[in-house]
Amino acid sequence: MKAKELREQSEKQLQILVKDSKEKLKGFRFSLANRQLKDYSEIKKTKKIIARVKTVLKEKRVNNKK
């Protein structure tokens, strides 16, 4: 997802997205430990999504305080 698309979503939706992405990342780590993970780049992509969403959430919180 692009940051522009994320900014259009509500804070609640973004928090749900972070939670789901963290669960997905946890599953990838278990698959990696069991040598079942085929595409290792999924871990990196998921981490980037989490970081992007957290950044947008922080922006929204800062803008609401002003």
Opening angle at CA 13, ends 10 and 19, nearest 5: 140
Host domain of residue 44 = 3-65
Q: What is the pLDDT of residue 56?
A: 96
Q: How far are the Cα atoms of 2, 10, 18, 34, 35 from residue 54, in angstroms, in the given order? A: 13, 13, 7, 29, 30
pLDDT of residue 1 exceeding 80, the answer is no
Query: Which CATH number do you get for residue 17?
Result: 1.10.287
For 54-65, the pLDDT digits (tens) are 999 999 999 988
For 12-53, the pLDDT digits (tens) are 999 999 999 999 999 999 999 999 999 999 999 999 999 999
Q: What is the pLDDT of residue 31?
A: 94
Q: What is the pLDDT of residue 46?
A: 97
Total domains present in the chain: 1
